Structure 1
């Protein structure tokens, strides 16, 4: 029996492979041999996450395999009980964007994308995919986007928050050109800050504990927002849509206020920025809800949402099956039904060109 009769769109579900051998059919023999001998050789964080290896303790599929690796368990555990009409798969593989060997990174991204298509998108019409790219090589990334861009089940291009350069840098223009060409959203999911070829996760250096890394996520997204706006990305690519995932929500309002104030005094330095930063955010950027901050005074919650135009810009995300999963039933206080429908369905349907709720 469903826990909520209102259907939703969940924009952040981390599907996985049962093991690394699952992507071997999509890799050359050279890389199959390399991985068999040495492992994936991907960097990881040097501190503990929460839950069970970062996942919910009840997310292990009964049939075996890692959390998020079973479509059947995802259906039973999340999609069906919460009436998820559409689920955007974000995966667990964007760490490929942290390695210096761009050819290996490109091969891993292509293999994971093809695995997602064959083992997930082909098996449930509710699922939509993300194109993983080797973001450290813009031309290879654009090539991968164009390889898959005609498959409309892929609705976005996914990159980690950790990056060698903020994403507004002109280095990334070929990626944005390919996104616009295929009508794909560009999504930044927090992760990989300070890993591999990516620089320090904070302006003050490296952190000691996971909770510090979590607290520093806003720094990462602040840098990317400012970079997009002041490098004029939305003037060059006015139809490009950008989503920020898993970095919180409420901080955006005062940050936009600050950007608007600074722009007024310094806009002679960036004459191509013809609108205020908050106008660019409202026209081109979105944010997903998980993990949404709970205001100490409940009366502040709705005004803070209004300050970031949540009825236009906020997308519901559960982050399943991670330990800090947000239940569609519990993540928000009671909202006006029309307002709730915008956040839990309509905003994502319009952004990702999905059918309206019936």
Structure 2
């Protein structure tokens, strides 16, 4: 129970604070908005996989690399939770000099049981926010596409997938995932789809967007064909990067966070549309995750403008780029809500009542609860229901 936490005027949030305390206001929203009457799917949430890193390293298929990782964990004092990974140090700036600590690790007390603690933590978040289905992703693994060694990146992603599908997914049918593709290796990506597409907890597959890879390259066509054949969506999950040619000039985390979460998906979407991937795979459902919404009308206008001047550069297209964009899907977090007029125009441009899906991004420092959607004044009742869960029900065949 969190009654005592709700009565306190001020709550100190640390790495040990109970999730149910942090989400006390979200629990009140359930009654305030009647959320029990809504089917709610959280399309983007996270757990801290580095807390279980030794168990993930043990599932590396390559025996030499697996032993190397285990030796790092054993012999290097600081390597227990980062061995072989490329965990970017810039992400530690998210705690705002120690003022937002819950993001750093989820160290809240969890009773001893046969359940992995991450299952308990996910359940606490779901129950507090009134969520029926929660799609769970890793955290630092979202930057795996920037790993300096593609072979190591592939092995780590596949080891994580083994661990997650064995340890977390079977314990609660409400927990789902879009399983990460080892995108550095198209053959390994295809193997991943074939191996896990029938797993009841896997409802799609994911490309971590921070990577310097052309998603239109021919070697990926077999990956997209396999997904379309199985009726499973592909998602592109954005992430931060403070070390590329643009963001490395920025001296504030705020600046890099604002830009890098958007530009990676802008790049992939541009290659996706202009190279005619939606024409080649018209039944492949595509989702753009954690880039907010403000970039979408900009990209629609910009790509339409350029296309109308140089249609010969995009010979596969049969309609405007913006028309393809309105046939794809987007997640709500972080929803830019500082100008309600601009937000309403954005919703209209992207047909949000049919293309937008709610996401919390919990437990990240900038998460959004379902009440965020319910508080948008211009949404219709059916639009709210669609965004909170009905569109996701269709996209993921729930």
* TM bucket, shorter chain: 0.7 to 0.9
Structure 1 residue ranges without an equivalent (≥5): none
Larger deviation: 318-327 or 28-37?
Answer: 28-37
CA distance in 1, matches of 2:342, 2:191: 46
What is the aligned partner in structure 2 of residue 211 from structure 1?
254
Q: What SS does the aligned partner of 1:239 have?
A: coil
8 Å contact from structure 1 (residues 121, 127) kept in 2: yes
TM-score by length of structure 2 reads 0.78
TM-score by length of structure 1 reads 0.87
What is the aligned partner in structure 2 of residue 16 from structure 1?
48
Deviation at 1:56, TM superposition (A): 4.1
8 Å contact from structure 1 (residues 42, 95) kept in 2: no
Give the length in aligned residue pairs: 344
Q: Deviations over 1:48-70 (max 9, x none)?
A: 432368744895331399xx952
What is the aligned partner in structure 1 of residue 68 from structure 2?
34
Of 116, 135, 138, 1:91 maps to 138
**Segments of 4+ in structure 1 off by > 6 A?**
none
Is 1:295 the equivalent of 2:338? yes
CA distance in 2, matches of 1:338, 1:236: 32
Structure 2 residue ranges without an equivalent (≥5): 1-26, 73-78
What is the aligned partner in structure 1 of residue 358 from structure 2?
316
CA distance in 1, matches of 2:88, 2:158: 24
Deviation at 1:126, TM superposition (A): 0.7
Q: How does 1:268-307 map to 2 (within 5 A)?
A: 268-283=312-327, 285-296=328-339, 298-307=340-349
Q: How does 1:147-296 map to 2 (within 5 A)?
A: 147-191=195-239, 193=241, 200=244, 202=246, 206-216=249-259, 217-283=261-327, 285-296=328-339
CA distance in 1, matches of 2:218, 2:389: 33
- Structure number having the greater helix percentage: 2
CA distance in 2, matches of 1:273, 1:226: 13
What is the aligned partner in structure 2 of residue 129 from structure 1?
177
Q: How well do the aligned residues superpose, as a CA RMSD in angstroms?
A: 2.6
8 Å contact from structure 2 (residues 242, 256) kept in 1: no
What is the aligned partner in structure 1 of residue 128 from structure 2?
81
Q: Deviations over 1:147-181 (max 9, x none)?
A: 11222421121122212223233342232122223
Deviation at 1:219, TM superposition (A): 2.1
Of structures 1 and 2, the larger Rg is shown by 2
Q: What SS does the aligned partner of 2:170 have?
A: helix
